[in-house]
Amino acid sequence: MKINVSVFGEVDGKDVCAYTLNNTNGMSVTLLNYGGIIKEINVTNAQGRVVSCVQTFDTLQEYIDDPSYRGAIVGRYANRIGNGTFTLNGEQYQLDKNGGEHNLHGGLAGFHKKVWQANVQDLSDSASVTFNLTSPDGEGGFPGNVEVYARYTLNNDNELSLELSATTDKETPLSFTQHAYFTLSEEAKVGTTLLYIDAETVTDADDTLLPTGKLVEVRDTPFDFLTSTAIAKRATQHQSHPLFDMVGGYDHNYVLRAPGGREPQATVNAVDTGITMALYTTLPGLQFYTGNLQNDDQLGALCLEPQHFPDAPNKPEFPNCFVKPNETFKASIKYTFSTL
């Protein structure tokens, strides 16, 4: 397999490079060491047409100015931590409040705006880029010096995997995600795109999108994607639900039934292009985000963000998100692409 490396721009005197991984099936993935961003995923469909499967920007400045985490690795903590604070071992930590009254996606010094170190590995059947950065103790208010590794690998089976790992010298909450905006369809909106999510519940939330600690059953609600269904059909066919109406679309954390299992935790299928993407993850939650389906602000893309649950540092009933100095945080996300 082949990796092409080119300079994409410069930030604070540091080169930002684009790493393009190519397999033998005509699939290519372009990554940036700025934010660990997936800049492009291009898949050749059964008709020989190359389909751009994620939203992308042409210039580095657009990524620098982008407030939407487009394509980036998100951390130290994906999603929200309530009121920008949590207590650990009797000590209260005050975090950046960058999402209203809450800490969002790691705060002001998030991983999505950093230049990562990069190393490439080109083998006969796969190509990899490993990104690495150090988040210092106290950054964004979080404890611990945290060393983070993110290894992207593309193989000849049209699988793009992301292996995440981190160590810390102080106990700290960690939750990383990949924030690509997927565009498997060539339509302007994602309404006809078919979606399956292997989850029977979502976490309830208040009007600031902070979890209440309760779970909501998805059956017979707009959140039910236990069978592959067009997103717009599911959003409109059921009786209204207050949790859905509060957003006017999808921005909710799904409680995955079997993270790390052999079957995918989600699948996305675009009928017009014939491309299907299956998502596998070891993380317990999946944030499904489309933007607002009830007006013209629809983004024309969908996000599926594997993660620990929002506000888990303040909710001991949620899966544990704390990592101790003698432990290693590990998580995997894999996207497999197929064509009809």
The catalytic residues are 179, 305
**Distance (Å, whole) CA 195 – CA 191:** 10
Comparing C-alpha atoms, which of 305, 301, 337, 242 is closest to residue 27? 337
Beta-carbon contacts of residue 89 (< 8 Å; ≥ 6 apart): 171
Among all chains, which residue has been given the structure tokens 């309404």? 191
Within 10 angstroms of residue 179's Cβ, the number of other Cβ atoms is 24
